[in-house]
Structure 1
Amino acid sequence: MPTYQNRKCKLCANQIKEVDYKNLGLLQKYITKYMKIVPRYYSGTCIKHQKRLASAIKRARIVALMPFVR
């Protein structure tokens, strides 16, 4: 059975408190090439930042800053 390291959340390590929907450089690190949101176990984010990332990505899609599909 494989063992997994305890990964630190990259957003917590960089002390990012707010995830802004206009920060497309940050948001694009957490979506796949087909514009799906990357799950926590791949991205390594904590639950708090994962929820904030998901809502920011959805908000950016609604205001047409990001496409829904590619």
Structure 2
Amino acid sequence: MIMNDNKMKQCHFCLANAKEIDYKDIESLKLFLDGHARIIKHKKSAVCSRHQRKLSTAIKRARFMALLPFVQG
């Protein structure tokens, strides 16, 4: 979910009124990873700082549980 610079940026999770970000929801977490399986910065992904912290925690948990790769090459 990469936003262009000319569009107005709004948090995807705030708009969806999401309380928690589930580490088992792999398809939504993959939207916030780049081609090398690195976490996209909040300026590119248009996620607020609160949800960026929760998102990075969920991605790290999914990596530890072997649901997401650490690196992709």
How far 1:6 sits from its partner (Å)? 4.7
- Give 2:37's aligned residue: 35
**Larger Rg over CA atoms:** 1
**Moved beyond 3 Å, runs of 4+:** 3-6
Moved more, 36-45 or 5-14: 5-14
Give the alignment of 1:10-49 within 5 angstroms.
10-49=12-51
- Give 1:60's aligned residue: 62
Structure holding more helix per residue:
1
Number of residue pairs matched by the alignment: 68
Q: Deviations over 1:14-70 (max 9, x none)?
A: 111100100001100000010000000000000010000000000000010011011
How far 1:4 sits from its partner (Å)? 6.1
Q: Percent identity of the aligned residues?
A: 37
Moved more, 4-13 or 21-30: 4-13
Q: What's the TM-score, normalizing by structure 2?
A: 0.86
List runs of 5+ in structure 2 lacking aligned partners. none
CA RMSD of aligned residues (A): 1.5
